[in-house]
Structure 1
């Protein structure tokens, strides 16, 4: 059975880890963007790799104690809220109709409008939010298996099993749909799978295992990803960032990068936070660095989000920083409740939504 490796545990063993060094001092807020708090909500503690799922003007969120809910991001109004009766390990996946989470008891639970429709016992732990698409629920488990279920009935449709590794990150991986292909991160590779039967269409390596021990050889791909058309760019944990043409299954480029959270991007750049808090913009066309910012050095950052002309990223003190997409210069920052931002920020209905470890859900809008 694979050993689960938490990111915090991994970094605490590194003498140069970001928690050993003093975070960069923040200058006075530049205030070059007008951003105001529109609404806020309260959930329970979030200590799992939460994925805030957006469908139009709706976000689906969850807390560790089993709470799952959907909210209108224009007003903060609750659409539905329920408790699945077990602690949550991964989620939320949603297509706007069905929502899915994985419990710490290794159950896949699917809800419709807040009512449970089915749950299935799964053979391994899951840390990646299920993908709900095309009337199916797709699950990436820690044993490197990918399984498809019928969203309405819960009937298992197929399973694709890959050889297990001795170490597995307790962190969300890569699972998305690109056209008629299911794209999954498996052991440093983006893999294209036929969603109808589970057959593999292509594989493309972002990074390859190296080193002499299991930790050095760990190359899991981590969410979030940057998608522009058929091109998907992703990070391999503490190894590389790279882009793949998911229509053809071909690697476009890969560059060394030492980080542990995912990436985001636009048609020009792919943006990511390195493990030491440096923010990097890689040119989407060839992977060459466009700029590097050290303004947030040694602050534990989330994966970034492109928001208009800015780049939004959260840190472990509850601040959300908005930086220029062109050069990483500071535009403004907003505060939440002082606990760490635990999920990559999302944009829904013109509202920037962030979630904190203590369960605060904050909606910010331009003033």
Structure 2
């Protein structure tokens, strides 16, 4: 059977609902007023073209913040005040977002091209991988790691684009179109894969260090057995955690892949963690917190049900999450209660907010870039 790929987990659900003639997607919960206990202020804002449903996220190199647009290329802004530093049109429409490191901005395309630019906009190198690149590249230690939708992971030299290594695993018959970037920590590339598996690969030579199961496929049909990890793994200290669509959230020892705990939850958006807790935006719009040491469920915030949440991020001791109307919510990690709320440009926030020094950086589907600060 030829693999079928869908743009997002929600697209899969929407397709099934359309075939049945009934829309079964959750109805968004209207926002009610909250008693704000802190403030989230806009430090600066900028814009640079829409992302067209790709999970574009900003990246930082030195004092510049870079963001991509599907049709317009990329732009750089001053990290301190949002002043536009440069704007460049890529020679191809971008699909995989950007990575910025060591004066090199890297992006992927639907043609399987990986394009690297200097901050001046000059093309530095071009590399070809096996299929579409729809997840953001990730740069570390002189390499840039990209994943293509056929399940392969490529490490390219950041300086000239030469292939350092390629990693591949077989895929199930039915998979989600995977927008998840890899996560790199301490020379290890953590890859969430189709079929609910998590792999740890050496950044230096592509050697498989370990592979563990986050969520085993279950069910009688191929559709029921989809358990893809469609978000970036989270690493904190000696633990790495991942969450699968129609599956579980699980945490592992980073050195050997030994499972520490697992709990039933389904998510395509993703998770975040701090020193004590793991936070997950589930597929229906709940935010859940689990005890990091043993996986005990601590709380569930259900007042964002149906609001198509981004993955969470931990910001100044609070939990930040964005929704489909471009609203950023700050939650108390102790009980999930609302601490603050701020609006952007009313378009969806597809990816987790990004921490930059004392700022919370948010990119919206319409191409807005917002830097928030909280005292």
TM-score above 0.5, yes or no: yes
Among 264, 268, 277, the residue aligned to 1:269: 277
Q: CA deviation at 1:100?
A: 1.3
Alignment pair present for 1:37 and 2:42: yes
Unpaired runs of at least 5, structure 1: none
Q: CA deviation at 1:144?
A: 1.4
State the alpha-carbon separation in 2 of the partners of residues 315 and 41 from structure 1: 19
Is this contact kept in 1: 2:183–2:233, CA < 8 A?
Answer: no
Among 120, 125, 129, the residue aligned to 1:118: 125
The 5-angstrom pairing of residues 269-308 of structure 1 reads: 269-308=277-316
Q: TM-score, normalised by structure 2?
A: 0.91
User: What are the superposed Cα offsets for residues 267-304 of structure 1, whole Å, 9 maximum, x if unpaired?
Assistant: 11110111111110011111110111112111111001
State the alpha-carbon separation in 2 of the partners of residues 96 and 324 from structure 1: 36
The 5-angstrom pairing of residues 90-239 of structure 1 reads: 90-113=96-119, 114-187=121-194, 188-239=196-247
From the superposition, tell whether residues 123 and 75 of structure 1 become closer, same or farther in structure 2 (CA, over 3 Å). same
From the superposition, tell whether residues 333 and 38 of structure 1 become closer, same or farther in structure 2 (CA, over 3 Å). same
More strand by share: 1
State the alpha-carbon separation in 2 of the partners of residues 215 and 309 from structure 1: 38
Aligned to 2:14: 12
Q: CA deviation at 1:266?
A: 0.7
Aligned to 1:24: 29
Q: CA deviation at 1:14?
A: 5.6
Q: CA deviation at 1:30?
A: 2.0
Larger displacement relative to structure 2 (179-188 or 331-340): 179-188
From the superposition, tell whether residues 300 and 218 of structure 1 become closer, same or farther in structure 2 (CA, over 3 Å). same
Aligned to 1:74: 80
SS at match of 1:32: coil
The count of corresponding residues between Structure 1 and Structure 2 is 367
Q: TM-score, normalised by structure 1?
A: 0.93
Larger displacement relative to structure 2 (295-304 or 222-231): 222-231
Is this contact kept in 2: 1:226–1:270, CA < 8 A?
Answer: no
- Root-mean-square deviation (CA, aligned residues, Å) is 2.1
Q: CA deviation at 1:63?
A: 1.0
Is this contact kept in 2: 1:98–1:132, CA < 8 A?
Answer: no
